[in-house]
Amino acid sequence: MEFIPVKTRVLKPPQDDLYAVLDEALPPLQNGDVILISSKVAAIHQGRCLKIADTNKRELIEASADFIIHREYANSPLTVAEHAFLGAAGIDESNGDGHYILLPENSFALAEEVYHYLQSQFGLTELGVIITDSHSAPFRYGATGIALAWWGINPMEDHRGRSDLFGREIQYERSNLVDGLAAGAVVVSGEVDECIPVVIARGVPRLTFTTENTKDQLLVRYEEDYFRVFFEKFLPKD
């Protein structure tokens, strides 16, 4: 398995053409490839950028977050958006050229759109697309990659029913493949001035492909989450 960096020109806020950049920068793709695209360039493609001078960031965060966990010990709240802990609800100003860049709108629909475009361009039958972001996790310094959306692949590998090395049957274990791939891609793409918003994952073991929407295979409703004890009192009331 390998991660192949795809260096591109700078996509400029408030809006730029992701497809033109993919046409310019992508090498020939192969069946089985997974294309990982930064949420930032996906958002710029959609024009999801607002001038900093004209925007109240706190109000923007409150409007963009699924819910907010206020912290007395910090200047900013902890925010949840797109089924993940994301700083400032994913709103970023780095590489924004004077703009706040929001998360992409309807990331799964965009991933599907890119999937069909690349499938047609390269004549492929098996292809994956993942929209990536980065976030911080409890008990750890630093950021790691996470998948906001995907298309063309099953996000999980199910081990239930298999046996381990000593014949014990696996009852619960499943592997989250899309977040693992996103984490690897973000290491390759970098976070600052690398200008590598696209990464190709090639030769991913045990990955399976599909034309179905597999969002619900991975994402858990907040009200049913195993870790909801940490945040359930902050969930919005119906």
CATH number at residue 39: 3.30.1330.100
Is 198 among the domain residues?
yes
Measured CA to CA, the distance from residue 37 to residue 21 in angstroms comes to 12
Q: Which residues constitute the domain of residue 113?
A: 2-48+103-218
Each residue's pLDDT tens digit, 36-59: 999 999 999 999 999 999 999 999
Q: How many domains does the chain have?
A: 1
pLDDT number for residue 171: 67
Nearest to 131 by CA among 216, 40, 27: 40
pLDDT number for residue 173: 75
Each residue's pLDDT tens digit, 93-124: 989 999 999 999 999 999 999 999 999 999 99
Measured CA to CA, the distance from residue 13 to residue 49 in angstroms comes to 6
Nearest to 89 by CA among 58, 44, 47: 58
Each residue's pLDDT tens digit, 8-34: 999 999 999 999 999 999 999 999 999
- What is the CB neighbour count within 10 angstroms for residue 4? 16
Is 21 among the domain residues?
yes
Measured CA to CA, the distance from residue 116 to residue 110 in angstroms comes to 10
